Amino acid sequence: MALSKILLLTVLILGCFCYEQSNLEEKSISQSQKTELIKEADIIISYVDSVLKNGKYPQLRVFAEVEDAPTKYIEIEDLDNWPENTVTSINVVYDEKQKPVAYKEIISSGSGDCSNSYCTYFSKNGEIKAFKRTSFFFNDICGEGPISEKNWFYFDKKLNKIYEKYELLDGSGIPIDSTKCGEIICRFDYKVYKTFSRTPLVKKGILK
C-alpha cells in the first residue's frame, strides 16, 4: 500500500473515533445491582459472540465503510469479496426478533501491524449495555505476539458506566504486565454509542 494511503487511513482512524473520556467516569452503585447488570450484559455478549462466529443473515449483517467523498457504506453479501478501498468493516447483530443487539467496527492499520475492534452491545430497547475494545498488535517487549489488549465497560439503565475490566495477553494467552510493555502504539481514540440510534448506519438512514 502506498505511503499516502497508509497516512490517510491513519488520519481516518484518529479522526473518526473521538470520544470525551469524561463521559466514561464510573458511577457508584450497590454491588448487587452491579452484579445483576453485568450478568444481563454478559448474556448479550455471549449471544453476540456466537452470532459473530457462526451467524448468517438475518442475525448478522456486514457493511463496509468505503473511502470516498462523501463516505459511503456498502452492505457485503459475499465476505470473500470486499471493496479495495474499505476503511472500516461493520458487523450488526440482531436477536431472534430482529432487534439490533450489537454494532461492531473493525479497523486495521495500513501496515497490518495493528488491528482494533470496537463493539457496542445493546438492550432490546437499543440502549447500551456494554462496550468492548479489542486490539491485536506486535510488541517484542511485551512478549510473543500477536498481543491482545481488551477493555470492557458495563452500563446501567441510565447509560452510566458502572464497571470496567482490562486484559492484556500474549500470543499464548498468558497475562502480561502492561507496565513492562512500554508504549502501546495500537491505542486510538474511539466512539462509544450510548444508543443504537447514534450509530453511523442509522444516522445515514441505512438502518433503522
Query: What's the pLDDT score for residue 90?
Result: 97
Among the listed residues 110, 86, 105, 82, the one whose alpha carbon sits nearest the alpha carbon of residue 9: 110
Determine the Cα angle at 188 with ends 152 and 167, to 5°: 30
User: Which parts of the chain sit beneath pLDDT 70?
Assistant: 1-24, 69, 109-112
- Cα 205 from Cα 208, distance rounded (Å): 7
Query: What's the pLDDT score for residue 207?
Result: 95
* Residue 172 neighbours by CB under 8 Å, 6+ apart: 144
Query: What's the pLDDT score for residue 178?
Result: 84
Q: Report residue 159 CA to chain centroid gap.
A: 17
* Residue 60 neighbours by CB under 8 Å, 6+ apart: 51, 52, 91, 92, 93, 94
Among the listed residues 121, 130, 150, 156, the one whose alpha carbon sits nearest the alpha carbon of residue 48: 121
The domain locations on the chain are 3-203
121 with 133: CB under 8 angstroms? no
Max Cα separation, the chain? 53
Query: What's the pLDDT score for residue 73?
Result: 93
* Residue 170 neighbours by CB under 8 Å, 6+ apart: 142, 143, 144, 145, 147, 176
Can you state the percent helix, strand and coil of the chain, rounding each to 5?
A: 25, 35, 40
